[in-house]
Structure 1
Amino acid sequence: MSWTDDRVEILKKMWGEGQSASQIAKELGGVTRNAVIGKVHRLGLSNRTATAAPAAAPAAAAKPEAKAKPAAKPAAAAKPK
Protein backbone atom coordinates (compact mmCIF):
# COMPACT_ATOMS: atom_id res chain seq x y z
CA MET A 1 0.00 0.00 0.00
CA SER A 2 1.31 3.44 -0.83
CA TRP A 3 0.08 6.82 0.33
CA THR A 4 -1.46 8.29 -2.81
CA ASP A 5 -2.68 11.87 -2.89
CA ASP A 6 -6.28 10.63 -2.74
CA ARG A 7 -5.63 8.47 0.33
CA VAL A 8 -3.81 11.33 2.07
CA GLU A 9 -6.77 13.64 1.42
CA ILE A 10 -9.18 11.06 2.88
CA LEU A 11 -6.89 10.73 5.90
CA LYS A 12 -6.77 14.51 6.41
CA LYS A 13 -10.54 14.86 6.05
CA MET A 14 -11.36 12.03 8.45
CA TRP A 15 -8.72 13.14 10.98
CA GLY A 16 -10.11 16.67 10.91
CA GLU A 17 -13.60 15.26 11.56
CA GLY A 18 -12.28 13.59 14.70
CA GLN A 19 -12.30 10.00 13.42
CA SER A 20 -9.99 7.60 15.22
CA ALA A 21 -6.90 6.11 13.60
CA SER A 22 -8.62 2.69 13.66
CA GLN A 23 -11.67 4.05 11.85
CA ILE A 24 -9.49 5.72 9.23
CA ALA A 25 -7.44 2.53 8.70
CA LYS A 26 -10.63 0.52 8.22
CA GLU A 27 -11.98 3.04 5.71
CA LEU A 28 -8.74 3.18 3.72
CA GLY A 29 -8.14 -0.57 3.81
CA GLY A 30 -4.72 -2.19 3.48
CA VAL A 31 -3.25 0.00 6.18
CA THR A 32 -2.86 -0.44 9.93
CA ARG A 33 -3.84 1.89 12.73
CA ASN A 34 -0.14 2.48 13.45
CA ALA A 35 0.52 3.40 9.81
CA VAL A 36 -2.25 6.00 10.02
CA ILE A 37 -0.79 7.42 13.25
CA GLY A 38 2.67 7.58 11.66
CA LYS A 39 1.35 9.38 8.58
CA VAL A 40 -0.61 11.83 10.75
CA HIS A 41 2.58 12.58 12.65
CA ARG A 42 4.65 13.05 9.48
CA LEU A 43 2.00 15.36 8.03
CA GLY A 44 1.99 17.40 11.24
CA LEU A 45 -1.71 16.75 11.91
CA SER A 46 -1.25 15.62 15.50
CA ASN A 47 -3.22 18.49 17.02
CA ARG A 48 -6.91 18.20 16.29
CA THR A 49 -9.18 21.20 16.09
CA ALA A 50 -11.14 22.14 19.18
CA THR A 51 -14.45 21.39 17.46
CA ALA A 52 -13.44 17.88 16.44
CA ALA A 53 -12.37 16.57 19.84
CA PRO A 54 -14.81 16.43 22.73
CA ALA A 55 -14.14 19.14 25.28
CA ALA A 56 -13.01 17.95 28.67
CA ALA A 57 -14.78 19.37 31.70
CA PRO A 58 -12.57 21.79 33.60
CA ALA A 59 -11.36 20.47 36.93
CA ALA A 60 -12.82 23.47 38.75
CA ALA A 61 -16.32 22.63 37.56
CA ALA A 62 -16.03 19.04 38.71
CA LYS A 63 -14.78 19.86 42.21
CA PRO A 64 -15.69 23.04 44.10
CA GLU A 65 -12.80 25.01 45.47
CA ALA A 66 -12.16 24.40 49.16
CA LYS A 67 -12.61 27.40 51.45
CA ALA A 68 -9.64 28.51 53.47
CA LYS A 69 -9.82 27.35 57.07
CA PRO A 70 -9.48 30.03 59.76
CA ALA A 71 -6.10 30.15 61.41
CA ALA A 72 -5.83 28.11 64.59
CA LYS A 73 -5.83 30.08 67.82
CA PRO A 74 -2.54 30.04 69.66
CA ALA A 75 -2.41 27.63 72.58
CA ALA A 76 -2.97 29.20 75.98
CA ALA A 77 0.23 29.87 77.86
CA ALA A 78 0.87 27.40 80.66
CA LYS A 79 0.22 28.90 84.10
CA PRO A 80 3.22 28.84 86.42
CA LYS A 81 2.73 26.93 89.68
Structure 2
Amino acid sequence: MSWTDERVETLKRMWAEGQSASQIAKELGGVTRNAVIGKVHRLGLSNRAEEGADPAPEPVAAKPAVAAAPAPDPRPAAPEPAPAPQPKPAAAA
Protein backbone atom coordinates (compact mmCIF):
# COMPACT_ATOMS: atom_id res chain seq x y z
CA MET A 1 0.00 0.00 0.00
CA SER A 2 1.33 3.43 -0.86
CA TRP A 3 0.22 6.83 0.31
CA THR A 4 -1.32 8.36 -2.79
CA ASP A 5 -2.26 12.03 -2.88
CA GLU A 6 -5.93 11.01 -2.67
CA ARG A 7 -5.35 8.82 0.40
CA VAL A 8 -3.31 11.56 2.10
CA GLU A 9 -6.10 14.07 1.46
CA THR A 10 -8.65 11.64 2.93
CA LEU A 11 -6.43 11.16 5.97
CA LYS A 12 -6.03 14.94 6.43
CA ARG A 13 -9.77 15.56 6.08
CA MET A 14 -10.77 12.79 8.50
CA TRP A 15 -8.07 13.82 11.00
CA ALA A 16 -9.30 17.43 10.90
CA GLU A 17 -12.85 16.15 11.52
CA GLY A 18 -11.62 14.47 14.70
CA GLN A 19 -11.84 10.88 13.48
CA SER A 20 -9.66 8.37 15.33
CA ALA A 21 -6.67 6.69 13.70
CA SER A 22 -8.59 3.39 13.81
CA GLN A 23 -11.55 4.92 12.00
CA ILE A 24 -9.28 6.43 9.35
CA ALA A 25 -7.43 3.13 8.84
CA LYS A 26 -10.74 1.32 8.42
CA GLU A 27 -11.96 3.88 5.86
CA LEU A 28 -8.71 3.80 3.86
CA GLY A 29 -8.37 0.01 3.99
CA GLY A 30 -5.07 -1.84 3.65
CA VAL A 31 -3.45 0.26 6.35
CA THR A 32 -3.10 -0.15 10.10
CA ARG A 33 -3.91 2.28 12.85
CA ASN A 34 -0.19 2.62 13.59
CA ALA A 35 0.53 3.45 9.94
CA VAL A 36 -2.07 6.23 10.12
CA ILE A 37 -0.52 7.59 13.32
CA GLY A 38 2.94 7.52 11.76
CA LYS A 39 1.74 9.36 8.65
CA VAL A 40 -0.06 11.94 10.80
CA HIS A 41 3.18 12.68 12.63
CA ARG A 42 5.24 12.80 9.44
CA LEU A 43 2.74 15.27 7.98
CA GLY A 44 2.86 17.35 11.16
CA LEU A 45 -0.87 16.92 11.83
CA SER A 46 -0.57 15.73 15.42
CA ASN A 47 -2.12 18.91 16.89
CA ARG A 48 -5.89 18.80 16.38
CA ALA A 49 -6.56 22.23 17.96
CA GLU A 50 -8.28 24.68 15.62
CA GLU A 51 -6.15 27.61 14.52
CA GLY A 52 -7.08 30.70 16.49
CA ALA A 53 -8.93 28.60 19.07
CA ASP A 54 -8.34 29.39 22.70
CA PRO A 55 -5.88 26.99 24.31
CA ALA A 56 -7.19 24.61 26.92
CA PRO A 57 -7.53 26.35 30.29
CA GLU A 58 -4.84 25.69 32.84
CA PRO A 59 -5.97 23.36 35.62
CA VAL A 60 -6.81 25.26 38.78
CA ALA A 61 -4.94 24.16 41.87
CA ALA A 62 -7.22 22.58 44.43
CA LYS A 63 -7.82 24.62 47.55
CA PRO A 64 -6.51 23.02 50.71
CA ALA A 65 -9.22 21.11 52.54
CA VAL A 66 -10.47 22.45 55.84
CA ALA A 67 -8.97 20.46 58.67
CA ALA A 68 -11.44 17.91 59.94
CA ALA A 69 -12.16 17.49 63.63
CA PRO A 70 -9.76 15.01 65.21
CA ALA A 71 -11.01 11.46 65.21
CA PRO A 72 -12.09 10.06 68.57
CA ASP A 73 -9.54 7.97 70.42
CA PRO A 74 -10.08 4.37 69.31
CA ARG A 75 -8.94 2.97 72.69
CA PRO A 76 -11.75 2.05 75.10
CA ALA A 77 -12.17 4.29 78.13
CA ALA A 78 -10.53 3.04 81.32
CA PRO A 79 -13.03 1.34 83.63
CA GLU A 80 -14.15 3.43 86.59
CA PRO A 81 -12.64 2.30 89.90
CA ALA A 82 -14.97 0.36 92.20
CA PRO A 83 -16.29 2.43 95.12
CA ALA A 84 -14.53 1.93 98.44
CA PRO A 85 -16.47 -0.28 100.88
CA GLN A 86 -18.51 1.69 103.41
CA PRO A 87 -17.84 0.93 107.13
CA LYS A 88 -20.73 -0.74 108.93
CA PRO A 89 -22.44 1.31 111.61
CA ALA A 90 -21.42 0.47 115.16
CA ALA A 91 -23.88 -1.74 117.03
CA ALA A 92 -25.76 -0.14 119.93
CA ALA A 93 -24.96 -1.77 123.21
**TM-score range normalised by the length of the shorter chain:** 0.5 to 0.7
- Aligned equivalent of 1:30: 30
Pairwise CA distance, 1:65: 1.9
- Aligned equivalent of 1:65: 63
Query: Which stretch of structure 1 is more off in the superposition, 41-50 or 7-16?
Result: 41-50
- Aligned equivalent of 1:47: 47
Give the count of matched residue pairs. Answer: 63
Q: Which runs of 4+ in 1 moved over 3 A?
A: 55-59
RCO comparison, higher one (Cα < 8 Å, 6+): 1
Structure 1: 5+ residue stretches without partners? 70-81
Identity across the alignment (%)? 71
Alpha-carbon displacement from aligned partner over 1:31-80 (angstroms, at most 9, x marks no partner): 000100110011011111249xxx978632xx74227x9xxxxxxxxxxx
- Aligned equivalent of 2:13: 13
TM-score under structure 1 length normalisation: 0.64
Structure 2: 5+ residue stretches without partners? 68-93
Q: Which structure has more helix as a fraction of its residues?
A: 1
Return the letter of the residue paired with 1:38: G
TM-score under structure 2 length normalisation: 0.56
